[in-house]
Amino acid sequence: MSTADRDAPAAPTAGAAPTAAADPTAGAAPTAAADPTAGAAPSAGAAPTAAADLDAVSAPTVGTGPTGPADLVAVVGATGTGKSDLAVAIADRVRAAGRPAEVVNADAMQLYRGMDIGTAKLSLAERHGVPHRLLDVLDVTDEASVAAYQRDARRAIERIHAEGGVAVLAGGSGLYVSAVLFDLEFPGTDPELRARLEREHDELGPGTLLERLRGLDPHAAATIDARNPRRLIRALEIASRSEVVTPSLPSAPRAWRPARILHLRRDRSHLVDALQARAQRMFDGGLVDEVEHLRALGLEQGKTASRAIGYSQALEVLRGAATVAEAVDATSLATRKYARRQVAWFKRYATAEDLDVTGADHTALSALARRIVA
């Protein structure tokens, strides 16, 4: 799951992109730097409300798409909808049919080595031998970059296609998914300007920087979360650069290449209960110990990783600022807020197949994969 708590801007309409100043990603807002490291969607058929009803879904078929062959399949949706499991099941079916298939991670926090429990990263056994790209490619002290991710994910997909395979892009990080599926370009960074703005934020506070942003880019100022220092500074950095006339990305980006987009959704009440249980399982399963280990590797110095949902709350436990029970509740609340933003983001993918997987377990998702891969 995507695990950093942040306030995302309005979701793009019918595949439209967000402004570059507001990165609604799955990590704490990444910069758009070139990092050397690595309307409601149409229904796919009768919307099932329980695992057994998934047989009623008229699932899309891998190998076909609205504009041509779909050797790129994107499995998207909110946290806790079964994206990773379905992606593996689809890849399994493709491989059983005699073609190569690999999963490409689109969860910003799963890029980080050692961040396993809190991101619900699949174990090696759960991957069923399906190769996974862009997992465990960053240290917790590295800063995530959507521009770098776009470059690396597309290269991975191109290599998979060059070998005659199907690439299954799976994750809930809205901007990361969009950066791969659509022709989006991201402004570069100015390290000196960034450092100066960071100092000004520390000395003058967010109000001063927000007022300056209003003068340079009123739209960005109206949509930015001023409580998020990194996002505010990034927006002002983009708006302050003389060569940037507007920080907005295209309102209706072109598809990078033909893709089949599968949008998974669950009934809200079911999802809320599942996310509470998920948070409890993570802490019961050793999240605090995992974070303690990552703390020794510099987690608290990581600008992106340290703000991930679950990890920031576990750090509060280690600092003595919260009990485990309080951390579980805080994690559950942050995850629910994030899931709402994901729902708003992905439901605007106009070409997505909308699949209700409420109540679906591993068996039901595997059965769905069999119908998707005809």
H or E stretch covering 75:
strand 72-77
Beta-carbon contacts of 64 under 8 Å, excluding residues fewer than 6 positions away, are 70, 260
83 annotated binding-site participant: yes
**Helices 311-318 and 287-296, axial angle in degrees (round to 10):** 80
H or E stretch covering 353:
strand 353-356
Q: Give the CA diameter of the chain.
A: 61
CB of 228 closer than 8 Å to CB of 210: no
Distance CA 183, CA 255 (A): 6
Q: Cβ–Cβ contacts within 10 Å for residue 329, how many?
A: 16
Which amino acid is it at 342? Q
Which amino acid is it at 31? T
* Residue-wise DSSP of 80-99: TS-HHHHHHHHHHHHHHTT-
Query: Which residue do the tokens 């998920």 mark?
Result: 278
Distance CA 103, CA 128 (A): 11
79 annotated binding-site participant: yes
80 annotated binding-site participant: yes
44 annotated binding-site participant: no
Query: Which residue do the tokens 């079911």 mark?
Result: 270
172 annotated binding-site participant: no
81 annotated binding-site participant: yes
Please, is 156 exposed, middle or buried when counting C-beta atoms within 10 Å of its C-beta (0-12, 13-18, 19+)? buried
Nearest to 65 by CA among 217, 225, 181: 181
103 forms bridges with which residues in the sheet? 132, 168
78 annotated binding-site participant: yes
Beta-carbon contacts of 208 under 8 Å, excluding residues fewer than 6 positions away, are 200
CB of 45 closer than 8 Å to CB of 128: no
84 annotated binding-site participant: yes
Q: What is the CA radius of gyration of the chain?
A: 20
Q: Cβ–Cβ contacts within 10 Å for residue 320, how many?
A: 7
Instruction: Point out the annotated binding site for ATP.
Output: 77-84
Instruction: Point out the annotated binding site for substrate.
Output: 79-84
Instruction: Point out the annotated binding site.
Output: 77-84
